[in-house]
Amino acid sequence: MEQKKYFQPEIECASQEKMRAWQNERLKNTVRRVYDSVPYYRELMKEKNLTPDDIGGLDDLCRLPFLSKDDLREAYPYGLLARPLSDCVRIQSTSGTTGKRVVAFYTQHDLDVWEECCARAIVAAGGGKDDVVHVCYGYGLFTGGPGLNGGSHKVGSLTLPMSSGNTERQIQFLCDLEATIICCTPSYAAYIAETIAEKGLKDKIKLKAGIFGAEAWSEEMRHDIENMLGIKAYDIYGLTELCGPGVSFECSEQTGMHINEDHFIAEIINPDTGEVLPEGSIGELVFTSITKEAFPLIRYRTRDICHLTRKPCSCGRTHVKMCKPMGRSDDMLIVKGVNVFPSQIETVLINRGYPANYQIVVDRVKNSDTLEVQVEMTNEMFSDNLGAVASRERELVDALKSMLGIYANVKLVNPKTITRSEGKAQRVIDKRKLH
């Protein structure tokens, strides 16, 4: 029988009774702490006539107010900080719809916890001290690179902090250093695999597993990557606001992602009413962080649609599992691992004098996401010569890249050519087959 491997077996295989006791205590402590130290939380609770004494544990969680990304933007930058800034050692950030971005703060303890969560994911994928972990998620403000990098260090694996891009160099290092685990977005993994096949280098690759996340991907894409690279592909889930990758991860069974319940309490709610739904129901995923020092989030609405299950897992881990998100309850797109909101694009266009008539076309070509923005010109713009139009397109490409952090192709079209609708405008056409 295959030996089960865990990074922290006493936690990952803890009984539900023990886990519930931990969660009860940590939830009470977190609520008390944010009430005392974060005015924003205190006001939210007062609006519901709640004090920390009203929260005795998990059974009272549903009484607490929700937190949304709008709250995070409203409180930007320091309004939700629960520890003195002098105790914080790291900031990570995700994209926003305006100039206000969502920032998350970390103490050293928070970083250690985050890295332990990622270490659990790496060990679940078969990683250990003898492995070479090739991390080609982006680094910097993006959480993908730093999270898996730190997790690999915790495991004791040899870590390659490659970051993204420069595919030729990625493949050279994969071959020369005989990496055994690769961590990146699934679309980039597919692109690397295709390039390896084109170069006839598959025999030089020693990979056994890949840990992929940050964007939606189908089971068909998983199988393609596995076949092309000769690996087992594991899913990982996270949110910058909570900690980044490592909130949940797949084990060898691959029937959902185990949530690190000693750090995060998961709920499924009706996205319209906020009602908590019973186990197995499909709805919006809500998380409460119960060990974060600097930036704890209570009942944070992820907008991801999925379901939870406590069906026993053959891997031996007892933590609840979430399915792969089926979509979102809002209009956010994830393109190349980056959060893209139509409102971001609209802001760029309107600020530069374009009408609010545009269409966003997302596709996946050769396993890589493409983003095109079709924009109507005004009559004055339409009268410009071709050189002037081309110049306008280049300016918009630069402005969108500055706002979104990724390249978007811009196509200026004649006035009144984008289809109007009497109802809700169809701003987005997503041609990707993600589910």
pLDDT at residue 4 above 80?
A: no
Rounded mean pLDDT of 415-427? 68
**Confidence at residue 423, expressed as pLDDT on a 0 to 100 scale:** 43
pLDDT at residue 72 above 50?
A: yes
Rounded mean pLDDT of 347-354? 87
**Confidence at residue 206, expressed as pLDDT on a 0 to 100 scale:** 98
| Residue 165: how many other CB atoms lie within 10 Å | 10
Give which of 215, 247, 271, 270 is closest to 322, Cα–Cα: 247
**Confidence at residue 347, expressed as pLDDT on a 0 to 100 scale:** 82
**Confidence at residue 203, expressed as pLDDT on a 0 to 100 scale:** 96
* 359 in Cβ contact with 418 (< 8 Å): yes
Report the C-alpha gap between 307 and 80 in whole angstroms: 28
**pLDDT band of 165, cuts 50, 70, 90:** confident
Q: Which of the residue ranges 298-302, 322-326, 403-407 has the most confident prediction, judged by mean pLDDT?
A: 298-302
Checking DSSP bridges between strand 158-161 and strand 132-135, what pairing results, if any? Answer: parallel
**pLDDT band of 425, cuts 50, 70, 90:** low
Considering the chain, what is the average pLDDT of its residues? 92
Report the C-alpha gap between 231 and 180 in whole angstroms: 9
Alpha carbon 319 to its chain centroid, in Å, reads: 20
**Confidence at residue 1, expressed as pLDDT on a 0 to 100 scale:** 37
Report the C-alpha gap between 34 and 104 in whole angstroms: 15
Report the C-alpha gap between 92 and 71 in whole angstroms: 17
Helices 39-47 & 16-37, crossing angle to 10 degrees?
100
Tally of CA atoms within 13 A in the half-sphere of 368 that contains its CB: 12
**Confidence at residue 220, expressed as pLDDT on a 0 to 100 scale:** 81
Report the C-alpha gap between 286 and 266 in whole angstroms: 6
Rounded mean pLDDT of 263-267? 98
Rounded mean pLDDT of 148-164? 97
pLDDT at residue 98 above 50?
A: no
**Confidence at residue 114, expressed as pLDDT on a 0 to 100 scale:** 98
Give which of 258, 329, 269 is closest to 6, Cα–Cα: 258
**Confidence at residue 435, expressed as pLDDT on a 0 to 100 scale:** 58
Residue 158, helix vs strand vs coil: strand
pLDDT at residue 99 above 60?
A: no
Global pTM value? 0.83
DSSP 57: S
Domains assigned to the chain: 9-330 (3.40.50.12780), 334-430 (3.30.300.30)
Residue 360, helix vs strand vs coil: strand
Residue 308, helix vs strand vs coil: strand
pLDDT at residue 97 above 70?
A: no
Higher pLDDT, 232 or 416: 232
pLDDT at residue 95 above 60?
A: no
Kindly provide the b/e burial profile for residues 3-20, where b requires at least 16 CB atoms within 10 angstroms of the residue's own CB. Answer: eebbbbeebbebeeeebe
**Confidence at residue 420, expressed as pLDDT on a 0 to 100 scale:** 60
